[in-house]
Chains A and B, each alone.
Chain A
């Protein structure tokens, strides 16, 4: 397809404008985070001198080591549980015949449509009854359940697209069901599974409402919550706020950049089998 020069320039222009919309605020926060406190008036400005001490101060003042630790524990648990359970369930829905599989699957999909706000109050009371509020479990279990709605759907799709002949060949080669799943079907499917894991990591890391309601003690607070509290305490300390924001957002950004090639392949590609 031959694209005229004018069209190409216009395309680039439009893309640049939208890229700017996305990038400029981020850039602003980054610049603000290295601006010395007395120079920072909020807004987008390039600082005269660079002060990296903002990060150290935000870290210690804001207790972020504790918050980040909590986030890591919760996110890691949710991701691991979701990936493992979704692999089992996705395979069952995709490749096994059992009564009620359609009904069960649609029920699971309903979970995709439910916003956290809709069930958070009853959930809080349920968890309080069994004494799980203000624990990591109150964060891990509901978020695993929420992630599974997407994850099972995703894995079912992936396994549906998996070449049936390879599964048949494995069965003829004497493979039991469990071994078949984890030794034959999963290894070529790792790219889309990785994508799913990254997406769940992102959602879980950034979750705000659930920790807000479930967690009272400072020790169990996750990073987004910690950031909100920090913000409440340092409303006009723009430099500190910016530094704190960057610290909470950084892990996910780093994860994405490190895996971006795999991430995009996993989203766009299928499972290469030949």
Chain B
């Protein structure tokens, strides 16, 4: 069983003031596609490299199945990696690149050729086997990097932002190809990206990281519907959730002068951070809701996204709060217009602690 377990994993770079990965506990199931996502410097790549054995653990352990691989050399971990810049061997052909690992393992030539041909077929590389990397496009090189990992039949795939060097169109295409391939092969995969769209569309589960700490792990929609803290709430979902200063009492919360209903089972009354996703807002008439001056309107066919600021002070740091609202495009709202927004229902309102950012509702 190719399950992965990170236990209290810590990595600190020499002479660094803080740990790059701090006290990480994470389980990945056999065959699962786990995506680690977060902003630059959050420790996701470091976590991946710790798994692959390219960095040493400062503390903690990593298990692959029942085996403790914390001290095992990279080549003995049975883990294959796809690098962001592909890291292809420039002096070898595509075929040579793909069979290199098998050569090192002492596999006989016929078996090597068979495996390479199989992987090449799956990736559409059969016509390119004799070419060198410099004669390939970015997308082709990326597929060779995948092929190099696939022929090894490893227990785990590690992928470090494999799509970030591709153009937008290729990225979308390759995303689906990758997800399909992983499902076919059924290999446990840990995938690192800074793009939350990739995380949401590709992952069975997603782990959000910030400053070396794992913020929340769960299925994409769980993270979307019930983010554990302000950071996850604002990171997952595009366009992002925006926040207002609010006061909660019982099941109603007041923000920017307007009262909204919220689902909660009692507890704390007082100042809170209120988060509403763009689709959580509804247009309402003047005299009701929160007055928002529209700055930018993005029309996307049937819908439009309004980017604006509240007229009344409602921001967390004082002043007008940023608001993003999704409305039907029939309204034809323009820049400079004032709209009034209210929340559709209590599910749309998320409450977070002012000090810690943790979820309250």
Show the binding face of A for B, using Cβ within 8 Å: 163, 165-166, 168-176, 179, 184, 187-188, 272-274
Which stretch (B77-85, B209-217, B264-272) binds chain A?
Answer: B77-85
A172 and B104 contact, Cβ closer than 8 Å, known pairs A184-B89, A272-B90, A273-B90 = no
Q: Can you give 28 contacting A-B residue pairs, CB < 8 Å?
A: A163-B87, A165-B85, A165-B87, A168-B74, A168-B81, A168-B83, A169-B83, A169-B89, A169-B148, A170-B89, A170-B100, A171-B54, A171-B73, A171-B74, A171-B75, A172-B53, A172-B74, A172-B101, A173-B100, A173-B152, A174-B75, A174-B101, A175-B75, A175-B100, A175-B104, A176-B104, A272-B134, A273-B90
Annotate B75-116 by CB proximity to A: 1 below 8 A, 0 otherwise: 100011101010111110000000011001100000000000
Query: Are A274 and B133 interface neighbours, CB within 8 A?
Result: yes
Annotate B45-62 by CB proximity to A: 1 below 8 A, 0 otherwise: 000000011100000000
Query: Are B105 and A174 interface neighbours, CB within 8 A?
Result: yes
Query: Are A166 and B74 interface neighbours, CB within 8 A?
Result: no
Set of chain B residues within 8 Å of A170, measured between Cβ atoms:
89, 100
Q: Closest Cβ of chain A: how far from B152's Cβ, in Å? A: 8
Contact partner of B52 (CB less than 8 A), chosen from A172, A176, A272, is A172
Set of chain A residues within 8 Å of B52, measured between Cβ atoms:
172
Query: Are B104 and A168 interface neighbours, CB within 8 A?
Result: no
Show the binding face of B for A, using Cβ within 8 Å: 52-54, 73-75, 79-81, 83, 85, 87-91, 100-101, 104-105, 133-134, 148, 152
Set of chain B residues within 8 Å of A272, measured between Cβ atoms:
90, 134
Extra A-B contacts (15), CB below 8 Å, given A172-B52, A273-B90, A274-B90: A166-B87, A166-B90, A168-B74, A169-B88, A169-B89, A171-B54, A171-B74, A172-B53, A172-B75, A172-B80, A172-B81, A172-B101, A173-B152, A175-B104, A176-B104
A169 and B90 contact, Cβ closer than 8 Å, known pairs A174-B105, A175-B75, A274-B133 = no
Query: Are A174 and B104 interface neighbours, CB within 8 A?
Result: yes
Set of chain A residues within 8 Å of B90, measured between Cβ atoms:
166, 188, 272-274
Most chain A CB atoms below 10 A, which of B80, B81, B90: B90
Most chain A CB atoms below 10 A, which of B79, B88, B91: B91
Contact partner of B81 (CB less than 8 A), chosen from A169, A184, A187, is A169
> A96 vs B100: C-alpha distance in the bound complex, in angstroms?
23
> A187 vs B75: C-alpha distance in the bound complex, in angstroms?
22
> A176 vs B73: C-alpha distance in the bound complex, in angstroms?
11
Query: Are B104 and A165 interface neighbours, CB within 8 A?
Result: no
Query: Are A179 and B104 interface neighbours, CB within 8 A?
Result: yes
Set of chain A residues within 8 Å of B89, measured between Cβ atoms:
166, 169-170, 184
> A170 vs B81: C-alpha distance in the bound complex, in angstroms?
10
Set of chain B residues within 8 Å of A171, measured between Cβ atoms:
54, 73-75
Query: Are B104 and A169 interface neighbours, CB within 8 A?
Result: no
Most chain B CB atoms below 10 A, which of A163, A165, A184: A165
> A20 vs B90: C-alpha distance in the bound complex, in angstroms?
42
Please name the residue on chain B nearest to A186 by beta carbon: B91
> A172 vs B75: C-alpha distance in the bound complex, in angstroms?
5
> A213 vs B198: C-alpha distance in the bound complex, in angstroms?
72
Set of chain A residues within 8 Å of B83, measured between Cβ atoms:
165, 168-169
> A167 vs B91: C-alpha distance in the bound complex, in angstroms?
13
Q: Closest Cβ of chain A: how far from B151's Cβ, in Å? A: 10
Most chain B CB atoms below 10 A, which of A165, A173, A272: A173
Query: Are A188 and B91 interface neighbours, CB within 8 A?
Result: yes
Query: Are B54 and A187 interface neighbours, CB within 8 A?
Result: no
Set of chain B residues within 8 Å of A188, measured between Cβ atoms:
90-91
